[in-house]
Structure 1
Amino acid sequence: MQSVLAAFPRRPLTLKPGRSATGGWVLAILGLLLFGGFLVLVGAQIAPEIRDDLAIRDTARPAPQVRVNGGRCRSRLFMFQDCEVTLTWRGKDGTGTRTMSYMFVEPHMGSWNVMPMMDPARPDLVSTDLGIERLTNRIVTAIGAVIVALALIAGGFVAARKAQRISGEVKALSGRVLEPVPVAFDGWGQQTWKIRDEHGTAFEWPVGKKDKPFVLDEQRGLMLALRPAEGGPAFPLDEKLRFVTLSPEERAAIRQAGGLPPT
């Protein structure tokens, strides 16, 4: 271990985080577009359909003049059902078409039969027995799905903001005279390494999925890190020493001191 520490150059070093903050922001924006689109669907279609079914659930009757013009259900994870039914009808005011979208949680036990329903007093509010019978289920499912979507959107931006903050910490360390130190490897987070210095101070840094730590003492769980001589955050290094800018000769000398083949 001491030979590895001694092999490091004592000069300003440029650090490169294993994973940049840009990827986190890209994922956060993609999550916003994906789950935001789902929220728009809930607000524009699913919520109005639930509102209409609440209005007629006690007065709806079978509507033989309404036809089921098409429909399908998709089952996800066996329990989550996503159904779409298209209804068409002809009345004194002309023809009409309405496509209903249903989300509910129920074991998938085969296909469902659908009967058109209508409130005789409000013939424009057509529905189906499938939707009305599962109205409470649909309400709970929609509320739960909205909560999950909002949590995922918020989580994506929180993670991106955290990666941005860590990237700033790396920039603050970069370009300074740094010294090699052993730190305890506390394991992996979500594409992060968790480390702890000799004072017990914990740090967490973003890394790539394929990155491996530069191990100094496997039995003691120690890995290689860099930090300012006057103290401060310890920045972990990977086995290939890609997280720090070194000359080929410096990299080869450090890896040789650690018993690793040259890259």
Structure 2
Amino acid sequence: MTTSPDHTAPLRLPPRGQGWINTFWVLFGVVALGAILVAAGVYTAPAVLSDWQVRDAAQSVPDARVSDGKCTSKIVIHICDATLALRTAAGTVTRRVNYVFTGVHVGDYSIAVMADPSRPDLVTTDLGLDRLWNRTITLLVGATAIAACIFAALLALVRNRRAAG
């Protein structure tokens, strides 16, 4: 019996070199990306959510203090951290904020402390409020991209293991 050259079945070859060391590196990358995702959820997301809550009623608070404020830039990604302190009738409110946003900027940022008089515990800055949409989109796009990379890596690992086995 002869096989017609017009009817060929596709061949599937198992991936080469799918040993434990490759699995280790994939899982290491997944854990590292997972840690970045958790860090975004713990440090960046709360400040974004609270700024959405006070954005309309926030007012400048001239007697508040900013300490440990710094911004770093990686190409077009800016990460700013600051510790804000505000004296209220109930005591001093101290809050650490983390802003991650995109844009082209050269030079220093100047900030003013802002707070909603009815919610002084959610003290923020004008920088955070001015870039609220940018921060929200940056957080959503970044978290989605990281989650997609984790999912794709795990999916590829499972598929390659099945093909090799």
TM-score by length of 2: 0.83
Given candidates 49, 52, 55, the residue that maps to 1:54 is 52
1:69 is matched by which residue type in structure 2?
S
2:159 is matched by which residue type in structure 1?
K
- What SS does the corresponding residue of 1:84 show, helix, strand or coil? strand
How many pairs align? Answer: 151
Unpaired runs of 5+ in structure 2? 1-14
**8 A contact 2:86–2:123 mirrored in 1:** no
Aligned-residue sequence identity (percent) comes to: 34
In 2, the alpha carbon distance for the partners of 1:65 and 1:23 equals 57
Given candidates 10, 17, 20, the residue that maps to 2:18 is 20
More helix by proportion, 1 or 2? 2
Misfit runs of 4+, over 3 Å: none
1:104 is matched by which residue type in structure 2?
F
Structure with bigger gyration radius: 1
- What SS does the corresponding residue of 2:92 show, helix, strand or coil? strand
Partner of 1:128: 125
In 2, the alpha carbon distance for the partners of 1:145 and 1:21 equals 31
In 2, the alpha carbon distance for the partners of 1:57 and 1:114 equals 15
Superposition deviation, residue 105 in structure 1: 0.8
Partner of 1:251: none
In 1, the alpha carbon distance for the partners of 2:77 and 2:159 equals 33
In 2, the alpha carbon distance for the partners of 1:24 and 1:152 equals 16
Superposition deviation, residue 30 in structure 1: 1.6
Alignment of 1:111-150 (within 5 A): 111-150=108-147
- What SS does the corresponding residue of 1:108 show, helix, strand or coil? coil
Unpaired runs of 5+ in structure 1? 1-16, 169-263
Partner of 2:12: none
- What SS does the corresponding residue of 1:96 show, helix, strand or coil? strand
**8 A contact 2:68–2:82 mirrored in 1:** yes
